[in-house]
Structure 1
Amino acid sequence: MKKFIVGWICLWWLAIAVAWAQNGRIEGTVIDRFTRKPLELVNVVVVGLPQGSSTDAEGKFVIEQIPPGIYRLQASFLGYKTVYTAEYRVNHLTPHIQIEMEEDEEMLGEVTVTATPFPRVTESPVSLRVIGLQEIEKVPGANRDISRVVQNYPGVAFSPIGYRNDLIVRGGGPSENSFYLDGIEIPNINHFSTQGASGGPVGLIDADLIRNVRFYSGSFPVSRGNALSSVLDFQLRDGDMEHNSVKATLGASEVALTSNGHLGKKTSYLVSVRQSYLQMLFKILGLPFLPAYTDASFKLKTRFNAYNELTILGLGGIDRMKLNLGLEGEDAEYLLSYLPEINQETFTVGGVYRHYAGRHVQSVTLSHSYLNNRNLKYRDNDDSRPENLTLNLGSVEQETQLRLDNTSTWERWKLDAGIELGYLQYTNHTYQRVYGNSLSVTDYRTALDIIRWGLYASLNYTGVDERFTASLGVRTDGNNYNSRMKELWRQLSPRMSVSYRLADGWYLSGHMGLYYQLPPYTALGFKDADGMYVNRSLKYTSVTQESLGLAWRPNESMELTAEGFYKGYDHMPLSVVDGIPLACKGNDYGVVGNERLVSVAQGRAYGVELMFRWLLRQKLNLASSLTFFKSEFRQSDSGEYLPSAWDNQFIWNASGTYNFPKHWSVGLRVSWIGGSPYTPYDVDKSSLVEAWDAQGRGYYDYTRYNAERLSSYAKLDVRVDKVFYWKKCMLGFYLDLQNITASKLKQADVLMSTGVIENPEAPLSEQRYVMKYLPQESGTLLPTLGITFEY
């Protein structure tokens, strides 16, 4: 640890000895959003600085002598609505910035509009957070992983164990989220993803490509379907049409190389390649599993003219997780007893064609996604004997999607409508030893084709001075899996949002709506021993969402919000074997949903969220959130509600980053989460030799589901950043200390076999292992040194 810190200090002194900070410049263009024509004499200023400029006859502006850093721009013009841009990094290669302004026909004279980093969106006036470049780059403990960045927001739980970044939002499971990249749906955003859910240990998207992220913990837009708990809507940067650049990053788990620039006069590009070194790091640390991954991303954008543009993007990853055999110790022995070897390949490629026709914008989105997941496990990890095989899974998911959308705007009204079509192909070959009441072998092949479709429309109204806003929307989805799912009226999803400014800085907003999600493909394609689809009677899972929020913004840099929410689930897939909903699974490696299910379970999650944000431009970014909630389910409409797997009851996060002179910044984050419930083991069943050998781990006593609860857990993360700017390059260092207090999480003791049979004279079906409990405690200081270089 001392050598690590000393090395980091030496690197800093080496850089500071030759550093020469250069002031940057910002170039850009301002155009009318509808006519696509340049606007002259628009006032453009750097938020938080005295520098500014006005556009010329071609709509171009240049602002000189900007100290390097992360900034927003504000554009104002008589007769137009003031625009507050996303965040941009200003250095030796500041990208060309295009600003679109919308005419305000009721603005008869010049007015003073105060810019704000807390936007109000008519369709989602509650449950929406916009994550900018500053947060993505510098949130302590996140290592620029978006799934970990959003854990700082209300209602989002985090895994105290630390090796997973599953998105657990408002008491919902990790399979209840959807993700979009520049309007293209991405099935998952993590390496080593749990098939049938969406979580994983490491993010798939390179943060260097992201402009900002819209995180919806409710009140989703009608164009974003198939989600029950949250939507992450990523907006990628455009390549620089003026310069070509290369950036290298050495992070916590990988080395990355990104480049952006232009190909000719009409096409820009972004490209990223990352290679992990986790396998080497985990081996040095003596961990029982050795993950390694490679990923690549790209974006091409061609502007044919002012009215037509085409964006093509792709995202893919290759994952390999081997077992670190030969380790000693009971903890390693336990993990090695059940963890499979995992091989995954995933990619999404797609394009968006957009046509600007005055106040009407049409877009066509076409994409294809692919996931190939393979798991292999032998008893005692001994592959020398075929009879030791306990799991051999090979599964492929592919989906092609088409979306047609039109957005029309008339003064105070906005209409968005579209249609979606999708073609899914799912194949699976699974051999698995399972133990219910007796040992059995599952060995099946399946091939499933599904055509799905959706329709949506929303009408938004914005009143004078934006004092009152309202949105009415409806969506419906269907597919040909079974006769019930074909009937669009059964999945009709109405929703409504309203917001009203009570007084200067005070806003009261609310939302209510109904949402549907298709069960995972692993469930739809599951077959029994006779080769029959056993889940043909499944229904769409539904959730009603109701939320009411009050926001107070005393000035342009501060916001305090309070929001109450209620979620009511129906038709949740329930496991026939263990009697718990599928939504309570999915936070471990492997597959979720490949079992017999019935759509009879119900659930509810409700609570209150408080959040305080304070942004002092170029100085302080402070955020604190507190959530009290309950998450429960029951097996049927007449059953008793029980705590779900995600019922932590409270979450508190407080983080802040302060920017010092000379491009230093220091960030702190305190996280505290309530203890999660857990289910005791069924010792009698787990000790059976056939049962233990089938899966290499204990079985839970679901008659006492979540009857026990762990203690709460708190940790402190610290991050220090230093950036050097030269005339033609940039060099940055960061030191991220996760869990600097080395706080320990006491987990439930693990039941484990000793390998000794206590009654070898009995028949095989009655033989039992001598069992033992292993105390489980995790939590250690994790230091990370990151280096970035851009040329």
Structure 2
Amino acid sequence: TYNDYQFKINSKLSDRDELYVIGLGSFDKNRLNLSMKDPEEDRKYILGYLPENNQISYVFGAGYLHSFTGGRLQVTASRDYLKNQLCKYENNDEALPKTLDIDSREGNYRVRAAVSLWDLNGFRLQAGVGGGTGSYRNETFRQVYTAEGSQEDRSSSRFTVGRYEFFATLSRDFFRERLSVLAGLRADGMTYSDLTSNPFRQLSPRVSLSYKLSRKWRLSASVARYHQEPSYTTMGYNGNLIPGYNQKEGLRYMAVNQYIAGVNFSPTPQSDFKLEGFYKQYSRLPVSLLDSLPVSTGDFADYIVGDVPAKSVGKGRAYGGEFSYRNLNLYNTVVNLAYTFFVSQVNKMDGELRPTSHYLSSSWNVGHIFNVSAIHKFGANWTVGAKWYLSGGVPYTPYDETLSSLTSAWDARRRPYPDNTRYNGMKMPVYHQLDLRVDKVWYFNKWRLGFYLDIQNLYNYKAAGQEILMPEIGADGQYMPDPNKPGHYKMQHIAHDIGGTILPTLGITIEM
């Protein structure tokens, strides 16, 4: 059961002052359907490993805008919260011991103030400061299997952090507005540890240039460095998988250097062609000490990503290019088209957890993405829109069939184990789908009524995904041992489709 809500309230206090309040939230409750009669093998597999889950999330924020001659002041304050509870019993029987019990909660208070000045002898300036506090709590019990065998991983973590930031951008046009230059700088810090507290270690400068060759042609380029803090689940881990390890000693902000260059051609005011190339260098990526893989894709990323002992020693890269076309009025139709080719990789780590010169595909290395969408307006306030999407195959790691069949290993996880010597060495098939939406609007005095029909995956495309590997199940509902390999289950391969669901949605909107 998924429950979502959102709202936004704007109030013009005066010609120069505005106040707004926004909110987004959800409450999701997921329960296993244990009453199915004669479920298929792939459903038995899902019921075997998937936990039941309660999740609550929300964000509330308020902002104040004050305009004055030549500038504007903006002040914002917000609160966000996420509560995630997962529970799994052995054989889905509450009379038996738990194999997974996670209660994770995180919340943040944030404030930010920024001033924009639009005419400082031709310069434009935006500068500001921000800060806040964050809190995290995690109580975890889970059965895991490591090189030492099956064991219980227990952790109890609570911490709070203070955050602070400052930022500024300065821009100006030169040569009769043919050349636009923007320079920016920001710094972030938090009180998590000595490695994160000094904001000057997280300086993020950027410079961008744009030059108008003619009325229709424009060149652009930018160089930037950005930082991002590790996730709360990674910062908060303090389990017993590596006794005595202090997570704070190894985590830092992630960093990326980004280089972009492009050219724009606008034959008409309504149309635009763009060709852009990019190169990104990633450093300080959190790497799991258990499998030497990025924490977002390793063996222990099943339910809460990053809940492992880790160090910020990983590196990676991404590069590619994108071509896009946009027309706001092509025979009364808005058309958008984009094709992206890119490579996304991480450096393989050696035995001392040092990056090598050998690259592995990241889990986002799909290679090709193509999007085309069109929205046509008919008479009587009817609108029809369509979007076709194609993506290259997602990388995946083949299974370690020997380890997966081991009874103690399977019972700890109820899922097959990847063979990380072939990490992301295979790819799923290309995926594509067509979405269609029809809107009708009626206008009344001071309000309007809308109706829409949205159909996702209109032609019901199905693609063969990675096969499911699981033990065979006997007539008694129990996993069958392998008579030829004591201590192992008798395994089977099951076909697994990805996509293939036609999802229609009917909706009504009311705006006042």
**Alpha-carbon deviations, 1:257-291, whole Å to 9, x = none?**
xxxxxxxxxxxxxxxxxxxxxxxxxxxxxxxxxxx
Structure 1, unaligned runs of 5 or more: 1-291
Residue 433 of structure 2, aligned match among 700, 715, 722: 715
Partner residue of 1:432? 142
Quick check: 1:394 aligned with 2:103? yes
Q: AA paired with 1:741?
A: Y
- Deviation track 1:332-366 (CA, whole Å, cap 9, x = no partner) reads 11111111111111122222223333223223222
SS at match of 1:383: coil
C-alpha distance in structure 2 between counterparts of 1:445 and 1:531, whole Å:
14
1-side partners of 2:468 and 2:283: how far apart? 33
* SS in structure 2 of the partner of residue 768 of structure 1: coil
Aligned partner (choices 413, 424, 448) of residue 123 of structure 2: 413
State whether residues 482 and 537 of structure 1, in contact with CA within 8 Å, keep that contact through their aligned partners in structure 2: no
User: Which residue of the other structure, out of 18, 21, 24, is the alignment partner of 1:309?
Assistant: 18
Relative to structure 1, the CA distance from residue 509 to residue 436 in structure 2 (aligned partners, 3 Å threshold; closer, same or farther) is: same
Equivalent residue letter for 2:381:
H
In the alignment, is residue 699 of structure 1 matched against residue 408 of structure 2?
no
One-letter amino acid of the structure 1 residue matched with residue 471 of structure 2:
S
1:138-186 superposed Cα distances (whole Å, 9 cap, x missing partner): xxxxxxxxxxxxxxxxxxxxxxxxxxxxxxxxxxxxxxxxxxxxxxxxx
8 Å contact from structure 2 (residues 288, 298) kept in 1: no
- In structure 2, the residue matched to 1:29 is none
| Counterpart position of 1:503 | 214
Q: Could you tell me whether the CA contact under 8 Å between 1:535 and 1:597 is conserved in 2?
A: no
For residue 770 of structure 1, the aligned residue among 490, 501, 511 is 490
Answering whether residue 51 of structure 2 is matched by residue 331 of structure 1, we say: no
Does the CA contact (< 8 Å) of 1:624 and 1:654 recur in 2? yes
TM-score using structure 1 length: 0.60
Cα shift at 1:589 = 7.0
- Per the alignment, residue 645 of structure 1 pairs with 363
| Aligned counterparts of 2:47 and 2:70: Cα–Cα separation in 1 | 60
Which stretch of the first structure deviates more once superposed, 558-567 or 687-696? 687-696
Q: 1:621 aligns with which of 318, 321, 334?
A: 334
Distance (whole Å) between structure 1 residues aligned to residue 460 and residue 166 of structure 2: 51
For residue 778 of structure 1, report the CA deviation from its aligned partner. 3.3
Distance in 2 between residues matched to 1:728 and 1:406, nearest whole Å = 35
Aligned to 2:228: 517
Identify which of 224, 238, 262 aligns with 1:527.
238
Following the alignment from structure 1 to structure 2, what is the Cα–Cα distance between the partners of residues 623 and 337? Answer: 43
Q: 2: distance between equivalents of 1:730 and 1:420?
A: 39
Percentage of identical aligned residues: 34
Q: Which moved more, 1:533-542 or 1:586-595?
A: 586-595
SS at structure 2 position matched to 1:485 = coil
SS in 1 for 2:201: helix
Aligned match for 1:596, one of 306, 309, 318:
309
- Counterpart of 2:208, as a letter, is S
Residues 298 and 586 of structure 1, relative CA distance in 2, 3 Å threshold: farther
Deviation at residue 577 of structure 1 after TM alignment: 1.7
> Is the CA contact 1:412–1:463 (under 8 Å) kept in the aligned structure 2?
no
Contact 1:729 1:789 in 2 (8 A): no
Give the aligned partner of residue 383 of structure 1: 94
**Residue number in structure 2 paired with 1:579:** 292
Paired residues for 1:253-402 under 5 Å: 292-327=1-36, 328-385=39-96, 387=97, 389-402=98-111
* Unaligned ranges ≥5, structure 2: 473-478
Cα offset, 1:488, TM superposition:
2.2
What code does the residue aligned with 1:515 have?
Y
Cα deviation for residue 730 of structure 1 reads 4.5
Q: Which digits, 9 at most, give the CA deviation of each residue in 1:245-265, with x for residues without a partner?
A: xxxxxxxxxxxxxxxxxxxxx
Is residue 403 from structure 1 mapped to residue 95 from structure 2 by the alignment? no
Q: Does the 8 Å contact 1:526/1:535 carry over to 2?
A: no
Residue 656 of structure 1 is aligned with which of 374, 387, 391? 374
> Cα gap change, 1:783/1:689 in structure 2, threshold over 3 Å: closer, same or farther?
closer
Aligned match of 2:475: none
CA deviations 1:676-720 (Å, max 9, x no partner) are: 221011111111111111111111011110111222122223333
After superposition, the Cα gap between the structure-2 partners of 1:717 and 1:297, relative to the gap in structure 1 and judged at 3 Å, is closer
The secondary structure found in structure 2 opposite 1:305 is coil
Secondary structure at 1:323 match in 2: coil
CA–CA separation in structure 1 for the residues paired with 2:212 and 2:463: 44
Question: Please, which of 774, 782, 790 is the counterpart of residue 502 of structure 2?
Answer: 782
Q: Give, as a single letter, the amino acid of the residue that structure 2 aligns with 1:521.
A: Y
Over residues 295-323 of structure 1, what are the superposed CA-to-partner deviations in whole Å (9 max), with x where a residue is unaligned? 33333334333333332332222111111
Matched, 1:672 2:396: no
Q: Aligned equivalents of 2:337 and 2:2: distance in 1?
A: 34
CA distance 1:661–1:587, shift in 2 (3 Å):
farther
User: Per the alignment, do residues 418 and 433 of structure 1 end up closer, same or farther by CA in structure 2, a change over 3 Å counting?
Assistant: same
RMSD, aligned CA: 2.3
- Which is richer in strand? 2
CA distance in 1, matches of 2:203, 2:48: 46
Label 1:305 to 1:672 Cα distance change in 2 as closer, same or farther (>3 A).
closer
Mapped to 2, the partners of 1:715 and 1:296 lie a distance apart of 28
Task: Provide Cα deviations, 1:14-72, integer angstroms capped at 9, x if missing partner.
Answer: xxxxxxxxxxxxxxxxxxxxxxxxxxxxxxxxxxxxxxxxxxxxxxxxxxxxxxxxxxx
Worse overlay, 598-607 or 753-762: 753-762
Distance 2:372 2:298 in 1: 28
Number of aligned positions between the proteins: 494
CA spacing shift, 1:354–1:657, aligned 2, 3 Å: closer
Q: Distance in 2 between matches of 1:367 and 1:343?
A: 24
Mapped pair 1:422 → 2:132: yes
Cα distance between partner residues in 1 of 2:131 and 2:85? 28
Instruction: Summarize the Cα distance change of 1:744–1:315 in structure 2 as closer, same or farther, 3 Å threshold.
Output: closer
Cα separation, 1, equivalents of 2:90 and 2:43:
15
1:213-257 alpha-carbon deviations (Å, 9 max, x no partner) = xxxxxxxxxxxxxxxxxxxxxxxxxxxxxxxxxxxxxxxxxxxxx
CA distance in 1, matches of 2:494, 2:355: 38
- 2:269 maps to a residue whose letter is E
Secondary structure of the 1:581 match is coil
Inter-partner Cα distance in structure 1 for 2:497 and 2:145: 29
C-alpha contact (below 8 Å) 1:398/1:424 kept by paired residues: yes
Aligned residue type for 1:518:
E
1:464 and 1:618, CA in 2 relative to 1: closer, same or farther beyond 3 A? farther
Where 1:563 maps in the other structure, the secondary structure is strand
CA separation in 2, counterparts of 1:443 and 1:781?
38
1:611 aligns with 2:324: yes
Partner AA of 1:550 in structure 2: V
Map residues 459-478 of structure 1 onto 2, 5 A cutoff. Answer: 459-463=170-174, 466-478=177-189
419-428 vs 577-586, which moves further: 577-586
Distance 1:719 1:369, change over 3 A: closer
Cα 1:368–1:668, aligned 2, differ >3 Å: closer, same or farther? closer
**Residue type of the alignment partner of 2:481:** I
Equivalent residues of 2:299, 2:418 under 8 A apart: no
Query: What is the DSSP-based 3-state SS (H/G/I as helix, E as strand, rest coil) of the residue aligned with 2:91?
Result: helix
Query: What's the offset of the Cα at 1:500?
Result: 0.8
What displacement does 1:600 show? 1.3
Instruction: Supply the AA of the counterpart residue of 1:325.
Output: L
> Which residue identity is paired with 1:408?
L
Find the residue that maps to 1:325 and give its secondary structure. Answer: coil
Separation in 2, partners of 1:360, 1:718: 43
Name the residue aligned to 2:476: none
Query: How far 1:595 moved relative to its partner?
Result: 0.3
- When residues 347 and 790 of structure 1 are mapped into structure 2, their CA distance, relative to the original with a 3 A threshold, is closer
